[in-house]
Structure 1
């Protein structure tokens, strides 16, 4: 861990209490990673029928993990992370990454981050997942949650569904799971975070959404009401972040099982590659996580893990 400053809400807390909270958050992200990887490998084992025969030469996919270190601009250690990447019969490419990084923001970046304007030190930990499926009938998905500490501290993240062929039942179930996670905390959270997601995942140069949405939240913490009117109690904010991960783990494998054995055509596959092109455009032009990782010296391979293995443009 690093000696990052206390948040506004923790100004009266002992440094040990702050470190204990950071450790709890970090442990959760690693635990969630392990549970998701295990469930996705079960899906690889379950595939049967015609779609399994398409990939008869491939064994069920398994995650391969690769650690990476982060080094500050002055050469000092700045944390690091672990990539978990799988190429399989169900998942053409899925990455589930965790990282814990710390150091100092560059002067040009510090002014964009709450709490870093006067003290550029930071600590950040999180999980990031992107899944691109072999079947064009199974929706791609993105999920990430994170905890960031400067002189302030907050949680952020969310999940959004990116089908090639939108399915009303899938959309309803996905939104329903995330709504339940929100409603358990506050009835106003879901409409606010859903609208935030719809606005955030807009491909503005095309005037179209990246997918069918989900939720997006950021700056969920004390002293940040100007950016997010909810949150402020660390335990509640952490509980909500955990519930987002639990909701994802419950609903998304169910959607995969709903479609992963349905046969598909080459025409549907071509459409899938075109939709992936839209995904690439958003992530390279607009995604804040991509920009944050690149501007804080993150691992480029891990940051660009979100890009699909194949994509196409008309």
Structure 2
């Protein structure tokens, strides 16, 4: 497979940046709408770089993090476009998982994507995660991503709304997609050592390549475009709700569960750290405060 994907790589990276801009604007607008004595939160922007083992530049991205806002206790919306060669461990893992021959002979890769995690001030407002990405090697290309809801205090109507929006955005690509990606999310976002899911699910896919790049990219865009209509109304509704010390306790304990998953099981965390990407960007998903009982 030759590297004839320059235009497609650029299109994917540009779209991830555009989605990031839309989400950041919406989040800062939500901060402004929620009038309190505290100043509205703003995103702090930090460029990130990945360096190859020989020290050469291997791409990077932009880490956008807001801390201590009116609505958000911590939220990050990161984008990155990185490239280089996979180390022996990553080569072996990818060859085993994807059945790709020739990784050792030509271990080049390119990856671009957006990753978002929001931890809220109000315990009734659900935490949320979303990412979409494109990955290329000389042997294959694929897309991945999804979003899932992580309430500390679940409201069935919120869960129903979140899933309904995912389904509405996926159905134009085939009505079999939503049930399959929902089931995949239920399996992927499960914490074996706790014998429970980390949240109330969503959608998830990985290694997605039908051979039709345009169709697969369109599906990936729909996953990203579902995020704001699925989650933003929930934050707008719950940000005003009164909460108690017991509610805050439930939130902190749930965040501990979230941290366990991301540090032990999450593929993106493992890949980012193993390939030398900026550790602060990789670990952006961790909550500002958490508790274990």
TM-score after normalising by structure 2: 0.95
Identify the residue that residue 29 of structure 2 maps to in structure 1: 42
8 Å contact kept, 1:60–1:89: yes
Structure 2 gap segments, 5+ residues each: none
After TM superposition, the structure 1 stretch with the greater mean CA deviation from structure 2, 203-212 or 259-268, is: 259-268
CA distance in 2 between partners of 1:6 and 1:59 (Å): 52
Identify the residue that residue 130 of structure 1 maps to in structure 2: 117
Q: CA deviation at 1:119?
A: 1.9
8 Å contact kept, 1:220–1:232: no
8 Å contact kept, 1:6–1:152: no
Identify the residue that residue 104 of structure 1 maps to in structure 2: 85
After TM superposition, the structure 1 stretch with the greater mean CA deviation from structure 2, 90-99 or 169-178, is: 169-178
Is 1:66–2:46 an aligned residue pair? yes
CA distance in 1 between partners of 2:229 and 2:182 (Å): 19
Identify the residue that residue 225 of structure 2 maps to in structure 1: 246
Structure 1 gap segments, 5+ residues each: 8-14, 222-230
Count of paired positions: 285
CA distance in 1 between partners of 2:61 and 2:15 (Å): 14
Q: CA deviation at 1:118?
A: 4.0
Task: Give the RMSD, CA atoms, in angstroms.
Answer: 1.1
CA distance in 2 between partners of 1:28 and 1:121 (Å): 23
Identify the residue that residue 246 of structure 2 maps to in structure 1: 267
After TM superposition, the structure 1 stretch with the greater mean CA deviation from structure 2, 74-83 or 96-105, is: 74-83
Is 1:199–2:187 an aligned residue pair? yes
In the TM superposition, what are the counterparts of 1:164-175 in structure 2 within 5 Å? 164-175=152-163
Is 1:297–2:276 an aligned residue pair? yes
Q: CA deviation at 1:232?
A: 2.6
Q: CA deviation at 1:252?
A: 1.1
CA distance in 2 between partners of 1:171 and 1:6 (Å): 43
In the TM superposition, what are the counterparts of 1:1-314 in structure 2 within 5 Å? 6=2, 15=4, 18-48=5-35, 52=36, 56=37, 58-87=38-67, 88-113=69-94, 114=98, 115=100, 116-150=103-137, 151-221=139-209, 231-314=210-293
